[in-house]
Amino acid sequence: MPRELSRSPRSRRRRSRSRSREKYRDSVYRERDIDESYKEKRHKDRDVRRDDDRYRRDYDSERRRDEYSRRRHREKTEEEIEMMKVMGFAQFDSTKGKHVPGNDIYVTCIRKKRRYRQYMNRRGGFNRKLDPVA
């Protein structure tokens, strides 16, 4: 059968099977791995970036904390004071993420579906103890 009429995958291959690309790629990686100065530079850059990120993160959290405390300690208007008296609140504040004393008292009634014992077609046969009912 002539090669043009063959339906094998070889006839559809566009590129030759030479591995010149892989060889080139491997040699570049090998040179880079051997080069110690490259590793040191990369390591230093990473440390500097990491330190910058830590500083920025700490600075942002401090700034946010300061803004929150400033907003929290502003004077309340007369309307807010009246509203708090009417509603019975001590303050308009969220308890999210805070421990509230007396909030851990609860009772739940969880209903479990009854599990039935299997008498027929049990794995292991009939001559053994039944599974416990929970």
pLDDT tens-digit map of 22-53 = 555 555 556 655 666 666 666 666 766 776 76
Task: State how far Cα 85 lies from the chain centre.
Answer: 43
Phi, psi of 47, rounded to the nearest 5 degrees:
-60, -45
Report the percentage of the chain scoring pLDDT > 70.
Answer: 51
Each domain of the chain, given as residue ranges in start order, spans 18-115
- Spell out the residues 6+ positions from residue 114 whose beta carbon is closer than 8 angstroms to its own: 133
The predicted model gives 50-79 an average pLDDT of 73
Q: What's the pTM?
A: 0.20
Q: How far, in Å, CA of 127 to CA of 10, rounded?
A: 63
- Maximum pairwise Cα distance, the chain: 98
Q: What is the pLDDT of residue 42?
A: 66
Given a cut of 60, is residue 62 above it in pLDDT?
A: yes
Q: What is the pLDDT of residues 112-132, one digit of tens each?
A: 888 777 777 777 777 777 766
Q: What is the pLDDT of residue 104?
A: 76
Of 95, 131, 97, 100, the residue nearest 116 (C-alpha): 131
H-type helices in 35-97, by residue range? 36-72, 78-87
Local confidence band at 109 (pLDDT 50, 70, 90 cut-offs): confident
Cα→Cα distances 36→20, 26, 47, 117, Å: 26, 17, 17, 69
